[in-house]
Amino acid sequence: MVIKRILIVSVMLLALAGLLWFGFGPDQSKKQGRSGHHGGVPVLTQAATTQNVPVILHGVGTVQAFQTVTVKPQVGGKLLSINFTEGQQVHEGDVLAKIDPTTYRAALEESQGKLAMDQASLANARLDLKRYAKLAKTNYVSQQQADQARATVRQDAAQVKSDQASVDGAQATLGYTSIVAPISGRTGIRMVDEGNIVSAGGIDAIVVITQLQPINVVFTLPADDIGRVRAAANGGVLPVSVLGSDSATVLDTGKLTVINNQVDETTGTIKLKARLANDKQNLWPGQFVNVRLQIGMLKQATIVPVAAVQQGPDGAFVYLVGKGDKAAMQPVKVVQQNETQAVIGQGVTPGEPVITAGFGQLSDGARIKVGNAGKPKDHAQNKTAEQADPHESQLQVAANSHTTNAQAQAGRHTPDNRFGKMSGSRGLTQTTGTDEHAAKKRPSTP
């Protein structure tokens, strides 16, 4: 029995040894050697370029109507008619509503009658003055009588002037029974209906008119930007772009018109106002928008993909393609960046290739294998499915994922797809380039 048990245990040990040999033997080692990175870490590169880059400051603002008027009646009475529809575009002078004019027309006619009566009295007094003046010269009447006739003319003339003022006032009051638009703009929701009794100087309002063309946008910037904005404004008009909630769609463009005269102490920001034509009426009062203020232009700036910029303990850096196909870590100074590109102030020269993907197993001095990232269509045509290099295909996937991750990271800090200020100001930030997705994607045996 003991010998039988020993034989059974021996067979089991031999079987286990065979399984281990099958899983970790020389053949598997060869497979791992073929699928590893002994030939170099696969990476993608792109050459640094130069171009003119606008210097953009980002802010958040609110759309305000250029003018807003609450139309109220100036006289009281019954509202006979409403002559506009809600949301209608009206022009200055258009009749919006009418109030019963009966009593006001009667008052005007009364004033006109009083004026005619006093005008007749004035004419008679002037004739009397002429007679007394002639008689006084021949001593047929006394000088006192002539002076009295002259005073009567003055009194009647003053009365006529007073009557004329009453007529003018009555005419103006009668005109107020026709409520007209004081400005051109769009009407809002009607606040009163026909047949109601309205009063002058009360809380009754007919409608609110807002002027939408042009239109204003009030936005805020950090107080630290005041100096840069004022210096740029002294050099000319500063263009402003207004974007929607997606921070990509440009709703309208205009110019900066006002820099507020004080900083908000509670928020540390300053208000600015821009004026836009709003020809397509994409902007509406009260709407929240993202604002881009251009304060300058960087001439022939060095540009690299934002995915190439990495963050380390000592700050930003990129990997260059060094001698002998080795990665070379290069510290850089990032001037500004957005979701897709970064402006490099120091560390990279135009035309120099920088690594944009494959950071998972990359280190300073590591041997690299540069993949074909520039012409995927030609690459696909030149290689069949069986001949394609799996390192390059997986690296291309990793590059796309890395770019998406970098854009998503920058998008959380930068409100639009244009260049903005570096991390020293609000609204802009540097983007780290840790490529976790590329690290997870291991090249497989073709």
Poorest-confidence range of 2-6, 349-353, 401-405? Answer: 401-405
Q: What is the mean pLDDT of residues 108-129?
A: 92
pLDDT of residue 430: 36
Q: SS in 3 state form for 339-390?
A: CCEEEEEECCCCCCEEEEECHHHCCCCCEEEECCCCCHHHHHHHCCCCCCCH
Q: Whole-model pTM?
A: 0.64
* Residue 52 near residue 297, CB atoms below 8 Å: yes
Residue 86 has pLDDT above 60, yes or no: yes
What are the tens digits of pLDDT across the range 246-282? Answer: 888 999 999 999 999 999 999 999 999 999 999 999 9
What are the tens digits of pLDDT across the range 156-212? Answer: 999 999 999 999 999 999 999 999 999 999 999 999 999 999 998 777 899 999 999
Greater pLDDT, 172 or 424: 172
Q: How confident is the model at residue 89 (pLDDT cuts 50, 70, 90)?
A: very high
Identify the bridge partners of residue 311 per DSSP, sorted by sequence position.
316
- What is the rounded CA–CA span in Å between residue 232 and residue 223? 15
Outline which parts of the chain fall under CATH 2.40.50.100: 77-100+177-205
* Residue 292 near residue 217, CB atoms below 8 Å: no
Assign domain 38-53+299-440 one CATH number from 2.40.420.20, 1.10.1270.20, 3.90.870.10, 2.40.30.10. 2.40.420.20
For residue 59, give the 3-state DSSP assignment.
strand
Question: What number does CATH give the domain 58-65+213-298?
Answer: 2.40.30.170
CA dihedral 274, 279, 280, 285 (to 10 degrees): 40
Q: Please determine, looking at this structure, whether the domain spanning 101-176 carries the CATH number 3.40.50.720.
A: no
